[in-house]
Amino acid sequence: MTQLRKTIAVLPGDGIGPEVTNAAVQLLKDCAAAFGHHFEFREYPFGGNAIDSCGEPLPAATLAGCRSSDGVLLGAIGGPKWESLPFGTRPEAGLLGLRKQMNLYINLRPIRLRPALRAISPLRPERLGDSDFEIVRELAGDIYFGEHKITDEKASDLAEYSVPEIERVARYAFERAAARKRHVTSIDKANVLASSTLWRNTVTALSREYPGIALDHQYVDNASMQILLRPTQFDVILTGNMFGDILSDEAAALAGSIGLIPSLSRGDKGQPALYEPIHGSAPTLAGKDVACPLGAIFSAALMLRESFGLETESQWIEDAIDRVLDRGYRTADIAEPGARSVPGSVFTAKIREQLRAAPAAGGRSGSTA
């Protein structure tokens, strides 16, 4: 039995961020109690609330806390209150700064459909099939981090990639595919963009090191159509920062709600990774106890699996969620038309009930770490 001690930095953020991270932390505490782990949670201001309390979206103490943690759990940031601030000082700048400062160059967004929720997908079942794919998005380069220039008359944003930046994220995609259906689809705009041409050439050259993995390429415009027409063709999608941002929202829609999708952001092995739902801060829902906590809870489960090697614990949480969904409980955004929904806090309580109903077998850990 491996009992782990881990420090988790919690960045609740803005809007519904605090509600959903609170739900995830409750479940992580249940997990620690059931399996005999010790998780220490340290909370830090980040995003809009940090602008209000500390004058900047990413205070130095928050960054230091994240860097010295074993994993970071983030809610969501931003809101109308901070939208009129000058470019580069908004909550979003804090998020980009955190990604850059923590060297989080890989972003993984698993698009997995929950069996009980297939009916909320906007795609017809025959198209949806058994869709299950992962998006590997480069997170520290591209037009996001190239030079941004703006005057009253003119503006420009520079999209840049270097071979090492492409290789390090592409390696991760090939490794993910090796543990799945051994298929990588690299998405770019190589018919127009120089940065995409380098991307395609680099990924193609690297693929020779992974002879067992099938690689194909799609232009991003075609890919956005293919995701809707035939999502079952994808196993691991590999793409740059900008296209990954857009395609991951589109892909999340397949699952029925962006509120369901977790993410992992990481850099080199051994460095702390960051976990967050891919949804935003949804200011209009905040404080009403209607937000779906599943994106944050799946993110916590992903942290257990990917950062701490706790496969059994992660599965224990995901199974409890599926049982709650099987019993018909929904929050508003994942309720089928006409179905009854419960407040977010009730939904979380139902999951905790299921965790108690299926106690960890003898408190034994599935850790391989």
Using CB under 6 A, list all residues that contact ligand IPM: 92, 95, 245, 278
Residue with tokens 């999608």: 237
Which one is catalytic: 14, 188, 189, 350? 189
Which one is catalytic: 14, 30, 245, 333? 245
Active site residue 149: no
Cross-strand pairs, 236 = 134, 184
Q: Which helix or strand (DSSP H or E) is residue 112 part of?
A: strand 106-112
Active site residue 144: yes
CB of 231 to ligand IPM, least distance (A): 19
Active site residue 161: no
Answer yes or no: are the C-beta atoms of 93 and 302 closer than 8 Å.
no
Which of ligand IPM, Mg ion, none lies near 223, with the C-beta cut-off 5 to 8 A by kind? none
The C-alpha torsion from 223 through 117 and 287 to 39, rounded to 10°, is -90
Side chain identity, residue 282:
A
By CB under 5 A, residue 92 contacts Mg ion: no
Reported in sequence order, the residue ranges of 202-306 that DSSP labels E, i.e. its strands, are 214-219, 236-239, 262-266, 274-277
Which one is catalytic: 44, 144, 172, 329? 144
Active site residue 189: yes
CB of 191 to ligand IPM, least distance (A): 24
Answer yes or no: are the C-beta atoms of 204 and 169 closer than 8 Å.
no
Helix axes 344-357, 311-326, angle to 10 degrees: 120
Which of ligand IPM, Mg ion, none lies near 19, with the C-beta cut-off 5 to 8 A by kind? none
Angstrom distance (rounded) from CA 133 to CA 135: 7
Angstrom distance (rounded) from CA 48 to CA 18: 12
Which of Mg ion, ligand IPM, none lies near 95, with the C-beta cut-off 5 to 8 A by kind? ligand IPM
CB of 246 to Mg ion, least distance (A): 8
Using CB under 5 A, which of 165, 235, 245, 333 touches Mg ion?
A: 245
How many residues in total does the chain contain? Answer: 369
CB of 69 to ligand IPM, least distance (A): 20
CB of 327 to ligand IPM, least distance (A): 32
Which one is catalytic: 70, 132, 157, 249? 249
Residue with tokens 């988790």: 8
Active site residue 216: no
- Closer residue to Mg ion (CB): 188 or 245: 245
Which of Mg ion, ligand IPM, none lies near 169, with the C-beta cut-off 5 to 8 A by kind? none
- Closer residue to ligand IPM (CB): 92 or 188: 92
The first and second tokens of residue 13, run together, are 């953020």
The first and second tokens of residue 179, run together, are 């543990």
* Contact footprint for Mg ion (CB under 5 A): 245
**Any idea which residues carry the catalytic annotation?**
144, 189, 221, 245, 249
